[in-house]
């Protein structure tokens, strides 16, 4: 709609200028003819006096029409400028709202994905093999737990690894010993995921940590989820240890920011991002700044919106959470260059 308004404004302006120019030309010719007529009437003397009056009147009419044409040009130009500005503002409003909707969609998709991770960790923490490995520790029970974790990983390819740690924070089993060597026996007692998982009030509770790199998993970026493994798998059972699951963040997040529903032209103009609550870049469609850039986002205390900053539009939306997963205050954010054809948008 905004594009149509701008195109109409430019076309009306072009046609008006063209037609007023033609009127101007005709009136100049009329003025010349009137002048010639007066000269010829003067030569004719008394016989041409009546025609001289007509010629004079023609000159006055031509002048009046030229004056009206100038006023028309000025009036149309003023209104066309207003129409162009209104169309430009509509273009900015439409684009800003669209990008804000797409930003919200991106953060909603990742939160729905991560909600499933919170379900996974609570479910797997009640698995019989995990319970036995902690309730009756030993090589055999640890091996069974490890085999079970490996089986889970073959089906759930979004994880890098799954760990079981005892109540002292020592890893006793994990799902990929062939890839990540040296994990068994690792002391995780000072790691956030372990401490928050052990502090879960019941089997219904879980902990989620912001995106970090895990040195034991090749330095990969992970979203870590954890919960306590409880005696008998009971909701209120004694804490025997903790389960930590490590979501393979980079490829999953990249698929989301690169899959946002932009047109081909829009994609070239836009940078799509997932930002942490502190505006740290967690994912970006251009692959830049991951985990080390803080994007200068000015939300104005709004949950969703857009604003213009120089030659860019910045659109954003804060996570609404999903089901029992409230999210970590992340934002979907899209930075778009401004198409010069939109005008100044009232700036």
| Angle, vertex CA 268, rays to CA 265 and CA 270, nearest 5 | 105
Q: Is the pTM above the cut of 0.85?
A: no
Q: What percent of the chain has pLDDT over 90?
A: 66
In which band, very low, low, confident or very high, does the pLDDT at 21 lie, cut at 50, 70 and 90? low
CA distance 139 to 136: 10
Q: What is the pLDDT of residue 2?
A: 47
* Residue 317, beta-bridge partner list: 304, 332
Report all structural domains of the chain as residue ranges with CATH numbers, in order of start.
2-90 (1.10.287.950), 116-252 (3.30.450.20)
pLDDT digits (tens, 9 = 90+) for 198-230: 999 999 999 999 999 999 999 999 999 999 999
- As a whole number, the mean pLDDT across the chain is 85
Q: What percent of the chain has pLDDT over 70?
A: 73
Tokens linked to 28: 């100049």
Q: How does strand 304-309 pair with strand 281-284?
A: unpaired
Does residue 229 contact residue 164 with C-beta atoms inside 8 Å?
yes
Tokens linked to 108: 């909603």
Which tops the pLDDT comparison, 79 or 240?
A: 240
pLDDT digits (tens, 9 = 90+) for 273-288: 999 999 999 999 999 9
């Amino acid at each position: 709609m905004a594009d149509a308004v701008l195109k109409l404004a430019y076309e009306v302006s072009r046609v008006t200028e063209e037609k007023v120019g033609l009127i101007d030309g005709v009136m100049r010719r009329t003025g010349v003819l009137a002048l010639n007529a007066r000269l010829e009437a003067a030569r004719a003397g008394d016989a041409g006096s009546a025609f001289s009056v007509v010629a004079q009147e023609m000159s006055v009419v031509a002048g009046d029409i030229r004056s009206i044409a100038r006023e028309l040009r000025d009036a149309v130009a003023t209104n066309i400028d207003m129409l162009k500005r209104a169309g430009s503002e509509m273009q900015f409003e439409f684009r800003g709202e669209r990008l804000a909707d797409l930003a919200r969609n991106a953060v909603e998709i990742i939160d729905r994905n991560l909600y499933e991770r919170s379900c996974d960790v609570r479910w797997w923490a009640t698995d019989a093999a995990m319970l036995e490995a902690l309730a009756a520790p030993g090589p055999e029970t640890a091996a069974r737990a490890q085999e079970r974790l490996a089986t889970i990983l073959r089906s759930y390819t979004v994880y890098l690894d799954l760990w079981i740690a005892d109540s002292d924070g020592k890893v006793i089993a994990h799902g990929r010993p062939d890839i990540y060597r040296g994990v068994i026996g690792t002391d995780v007692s000072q790691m956030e995921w372990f401490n928050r998982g052990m502090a879960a009030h019941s089997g219904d509770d879980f902990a989620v940590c912001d995106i970090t790199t895990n040195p034991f998993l090749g330095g990969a970026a992970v979203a870590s989820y954890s919960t306590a493994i409880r005696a008998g798998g009971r909701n209120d059972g004694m804490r025997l240890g903790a389960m930590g699951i490590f979501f393979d963040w980079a490829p999953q997040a990249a698929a989301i920011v690169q899959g946002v529903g932009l047109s081909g032209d829009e994609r070239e103009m836009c940078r799509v991002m997932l930002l942490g609550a502190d505006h740290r870049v967690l994912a970006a469609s251009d692959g830049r700044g991951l985990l080390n850039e803080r994007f200068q986002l000015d939300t104005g205390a709004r949950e969703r919106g857009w604003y213009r900053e120089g030659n860019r539009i910045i659109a954003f939306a804060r996570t609404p959470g999903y089901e029992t997963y409230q999210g970590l205050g992340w934002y979907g954010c899209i930075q778009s260059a401004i198409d010069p054809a939109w005008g100044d948008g009232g700036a």
